[in-house]
Amino acid sequence: MEYFSEENTVLWEASEKVKQRANLTDYMYWLKHEKGLQMETPEQLWRWSVDRLEDFWDSIWQYMRIQASEPYTQVLMTHWMPGAEWFVGARLNYAEQVFRHATADRPALLVRSESQSLREVSWQQLQRQVGSVANGLKALGVGVGDRVVAYVPNSAEAVIAFLACASIGATWSSCAPDFGIKSVVDRFQQIEPCVLFAIDGYRYSGKELDRRATVAELRQALPTLRKTIIIPSVYAAPQADSDPATLLWDELLAYDDTLTYAQVAFNHPLWVLYSSGTTGLPKAIVQSQGGILLEHIKFLHLHMDLKPEDRFFWFTTTGWMMWNLLVGGLLVGCTIVLYDGSPNYPDIGALWELVQEAGITIFGTSAGYLTACMKAGITPAQTYQLTRLRALGSTGSPLPPEGFSWVYQAVKQDLWLTSISGGTDVCSAFVGGSILLPVYAGEIQTRALGAKVEAFDEQGRSVVNEVGELVIREPLPSMPIYFWNDPQGQRLYDSYFATYPGTWRHGDWIQLTDRGSVIISGRSDSTINRKGIRMGSSEIYRTVEDLPEVVDSLVIGVELPGGAYYMPLFVVLKDAQPLSEELIKKIKTRLRSTISPHYVPDTVIAVQEIPRTLSGKKLEVPVKKLFLGQSPEKVASRDTLSNPSALDEFIAIATQFRSTLGATVGN
């Protein structure tokens, strides 16, 4: 069945009753009665929020009643980026904001995995266990500013350990257990952690995956570790005294459960997230306690319309920023739902079954999962009870218009489909939903409050109704306070501000419509973005080129009509040997086991040479543009190439691909 919506067709609009109950309506009412500000439309509210930036964020602090032991003396020191310093003088604690909402009326967590049925964790249980783990960490000597890392799945233990770190002022960082050892070491080694939380194994797609050897390697690669806390997940727990450098999770839970909160500066490091590693090691992105607290409260309360009675779920792992945003649901007092497992096990309806079982009201997933459900021909509305579901979030990549149509025909007609787009760099969204606005096929409803999003043309001019570079003209509180091991801030500057000084360039193609909605056209840089998982080409190169048969390689990701995505890997082989099926299998197996299954290409193609610039850089973006149908003359100047003839082979391959338009494309 084909799903199609005509351009400019409204697919959904909230009823007047829903609009009256919306958090955004309440906030606008508050602005009117507390500040004397009359906002007639969401667009007018957005304009005020970016034109009067300090007034807006000051109002969020007051409206959400942010708790702080010391007040701020100034909202924003400077508007220049990088270098903006927010809420100067304020001292607070992220975890303290979370537990302001502790109640016996509803659970804090609902937790399920492939092997364990749904269980509740009450607010009281969560608070006690966070207190015990925090006191256990303090007993190990962990203090303010120390780094604690975790190699764990999306579990209650992950949330507990993170909140414990936040409560004592330590800095958290996590990777999912499907990350191979090299990827984890490349991330954690940079920040010199003192404690590691790790699981012994996990279950995915019905299989048990042993991680004990990986954890042992990881411990050897992190010489700054004082202790490793093992969370038994699959295998029998080892004896507590078998290794003096390890503790068991239950040993931490035996500590006193009194929870206290270290009062830290607004810009104190909360966690370290990582870029995809496109050029060298992944960037270690440091974000602040106060900046994340304020941004997540704003986005989840006003743009996702999260209420305390909601049950909020996003399909994610601990290696994706959406896990951090999901945990942020606790900041507004709702119940968050955690799931550890494959979205396709035992079948593609697994997540819809979870929506039914857990009574999820706001369900977030990737655009790739929604389009996969559409292509599989399933109709969740006919199979599952989705009566409590009121909103569906989509991110990771653009959801095509037919995906929007499928949601309203196959999932639920009275459903708010809120597509969002942002990045790990700010751990939030620049553009997203507004329950007060209609939903149009293929469009994101609005720009986020406080985010001065514009589209720049090639001359750096702001444009509307044209595709341009997504830029941010004013600072956001959750922007990185710095990159780890970047003392002069040069890498931070080069990553976002070198193209347009004082303006953040994000790397997305964006179109702003004249009605204020947004269309994302894909990445403007070379980052691979497959099924909502961003990945860096350099990680693939380091793995593939470590094979003795492979001399050089290049990988691209190509967004295609209908939500399809094509990821070919080009390899130059030693002594020009032929590319055998055995070697293809070897390459894919190495990528799957060393890094992640998400890095396995759709196809492997042997070429004679990889085209490079005079400075030695691989031509990822130009090759991608060839596959998108752009003319060879426009994608690269041969005068800038060290081996211009190498481009000819890629032109021929791309031309053949375009003629068949993805007959060999994987899903």
DSSP 74-88: EEES--SSS---EEE
Task: Report pLDDT digits (tens) over 537-561.
Answer: 767 887 888 788 998 899 999 888 7
Report the C-alpha gap between 365 and 313 in whole angstroms. 8
As its CATH architecture, domain 536-660 has: 2-Layer Sandwich (3.30)
As its CATH architecture, domain 10-92+268-523 has: 3-Layer(aba) Sandwich (3.40)
pLDDT of residue 333 exceeding 90: yes
Q: Check if 10-92+268-523 and 536-660 are the same fold.
A: no
The pLDDT confidence band at residue 103, using thresholds 50, 70 and 90, is: very high
Report the C-alpha gap between 423 and 405 in whole angstroms. 25
pLDDT of residue 522: 65
pLDDT of residue 662 exceeding 70: no
pLDDT of residue 595: 83
| pLDDT, average across residues 310-322 | 95
pLDDT of residue 76: 97
Among 422-436, 458-472, 504-518, the range of highest mean pLDDT: 422-436
pLDDT of residue 615 exceeding 50: no
The pLDDT confidence band at residue 165, using thresholds 50, 70 and 90, is: very high
pLDDT of residue 667: 38
Task: Report pLDDT digits (tens) over 358-407.
Answer: 999 999 998 878 988 987 899 999 999 999 999 999 987 778 888 899 99
Beta-carbon contacts of residue 607 (< 8 Å; ≥ 6 apart): 570, 571, 572, 646, 649, 650, 653
Beta bridge partners of 463: 455
Mean of the per-residue pLDDT values of the chain:
91
pLDDT of residue 289 exceeding 60: yes
User: What class has domain 121-261?
Assistant: alpha beta
Strand 269-274 relative to strand 264-265, pairing: unpaired
pLDDT of residue 183: 83
| Dihedral of alpha carbons 112, 117, 122, 128, sign | negative
Domain residue spans of the chain: 10-92+268-523, 121-261, 536-660
CB 276 within 8 A of CB 527: yes
Instruction: Give percent of the chain above pLDDT 70.
Output: 93
Top-confidence residue, 241 or 418: 418
pLDDT of residue 533 exceeding 90: no
Q: Which two tokens stand for residue 265?
A: 């500066």
pLDDT of residue 618 exceeding 60: yes
